[in-house]
Structures are given as structure tokens and as C-alpha cells.
Structure 1
Amino acid sequence: MIRGLYETHIQVRDLEMATKFYTEVLGLKFAHRDETRPIVFLWIGQDKEYMLGLWETKENFQPRHFAFRSTKEDILNRAQQFLTDRRLQPYNFLNDGSVQPMVFAWMPALAIYFNDPDGNQLEFISILDGDGKPELGVISYKDWLNQ
């Protein structure tokens, strides 16, 4: 029955600002604005492949997390420049002062994080070949290759 995740929704404080961020900065495509509710729908990927809903919330705002599927090559070779060109700060969970992509060894997956203007935690992620090694925790890609 379940073949993937099609749609997710997050809260934003300012619908206009968030719509501009996700369309103009990240490049998602505008799909629809519901004039009866404070929500905008955006397309992710090709041919209506995935959808993101942005809900304007003035009270009880709760930032969330979700990940954009990417390729290993894009994360390693383009993600940092993509983010810094857009004045977004990449980060990882390596606690080493770097902003290099990290590997969640239990999956394994290569990832880099950044935040939207509302503090929602966004991520570029790519599943790596091979078996997961949960005992390694979160490590650098270089350490992953050398293990």
C-alpha cells in the first residue's frame, strides 16, 4: 500500500515570506494558495512528484524537520555552495566546527542541514550504498569511507 511519502506540511510565521523563501531561494514550484485557509502548496521534484504545504501560524508555532532527497554527488559537491550562495548556514552534528556533510552510519546516509527563516530544520539527504553500522553513530564522510 505505502510506496513513499508524497506530502508533508510545516508551520510558518509569515506565509508570504515563507512562500518566497521556498520558491525563490530553494526553487520549489508554486502549486496553489487556498484563499479560505492560511496555506500555500508547493511542488517538489518533477511532474507533481511531491508536495509541501506551508501553514501560517500566529500562535503556538512549532518548528519541524524534514529532508529533501538529494544525490551523494550534489551533497558533496554542490550543497555548501548552494546554501552559502543563498545566505543559508549549513551545519552538521559532528561537533568539530566544520560544515561538511555527515553520515548517519545506522542508515547509512549522507546529510547536511540548514534552517528556513522560521527555524524549521531542513536537510539534504542521500542514502549510501552498503549496510548500516549503528555503532559508528554520526561520522564524517571521510571517516565513513575509511572504516
Structure 2
Amino acid sequence: MITGLYETHIQVSDLTKAVQFYTEILGLQLAHYDETRPIAFLWIGEGKKAMLGLWEQKESLQTRHFAFTCDIEFIQQHSELFLKNNQLQPYNFLKNGSSAPMVFAWMPALAIYFNDPDGNQLEFISLLEGNGQPELGVLSYDQWLELKKS
């Protein structure tokens, strides 16, 4: 019945700035902008398969979390530099001071976090091959690779 998640919405304090962030920095495509509501819809990826709605909320802003699917090579080799070059602070799930991506062994998936200008917690994530191993918890990608060799 359900085959995926098509759309999610978040609140932003300044719609114009948020649209600029999501289109110019993250590369999403503006689908529709309605100043009267005020809301903007952005396409995520190719083929209109997913959408992000940005709702301007001047008071009582509630931040959210969601993840963008990315290629493993991008996360592993380029995400940290990409984020830093765009004045975004990457961090891992453990928030232990490291900006290196981490593996959620239960999935398994490689992920790195950052915040948008309003404090919404965003994530770049890529599923890894193989079965999940929840007993391993959250670990570095190097640790994951070492364990996969064993």
C-alpha cells in the first residue's frame, strides 16, 4: 500500500531566506511560492518524487528533523567539506565533537547531520549494503568497514 514518503513540511522564520538556503545551497528546485499563505514547495531530487513544504511562522517556531537520501560517496568523501564551505557545521548523531559521518548499525546507514538557518535538524543519509546489526549501536564508518572485513 505505502511505497514511500512523498512530502514533509517544516516551519521557517523567514520564507525568502529559507527558500534561498534550500535552493541555492542544497540544490532543491522551487516548485511553487505562495506569498498569501506564506508557503513554498520545493522538489527534492529528480522526477517530482518528493517535496518539501516551507511554512513561514513568525512566532513559536517548532523545529523538526528529516533526512535527505544521498550517495554514499558524497557522504563519505564530500559532505563534511560541502557543509563547511557553505558555513554549516556538520556533526554526528552522538554530538561528540566529531564532524565525521557515523553508521547506524541497525539499518545499516551512513549519516551526517547539520542544521538549517532556523535550527531544523537535517541529515544526509545513505543505506549501506548488508544486514543490520543493532547490537553494534552507532559507530564510525572506519569501524564499520573493519567489522565487515571480519
TM-score normalized by the length of structure 2:
0.93
- Cα 1:132–1:98, aligned 2, differ >3 Å: closer, same or farther? same
For structure 1, list consecutive stretches of 5 or more residues without a partner in the other structure.
none
After the TM superposition, which residues 1-147 of structure 1 pair with which residues of structure 2 at under 5 Å, given as runs?
1-147=1-147
Q: Quick one: percent identity of the two aligned structures?
A: 68
- Residue 96 of structure 1: CA displacement? 4.5
Matched residue count:
147
- Measured after TM superposition, the shift of residue 84 of structure 1 is 1.1
What's the CA shift for 1:94?
3.8
Give the CA RMSD over aligned residues.
1.2
Aligned counterparts of 1:139 and 1:82: Cα–Cα separation in 2: 22
Code of the residue aligned with 1:93 in structure 2: it is: F
Shift of 1:95: 5.0
Query: Is the alpha carbon distance of 1:51 and 1:135 closer, same or farther for their aligned partners in structure 2, counting shifts above 3 Å?
Result: same
1:77 Cα shift?
1.0
Normalising by structure 1, what TM-score? Answer: 0.95
Report the Cα offset of residue 47 of structure 1: 2.1
Deviations 1:71-98 (A, max 9, x none): 1111001111111111111100345432
- Does the C-alpha gap of structure 1 residues 3 and 143 become closer, same or farther in structure 2, counting only changes over 3 Å? same
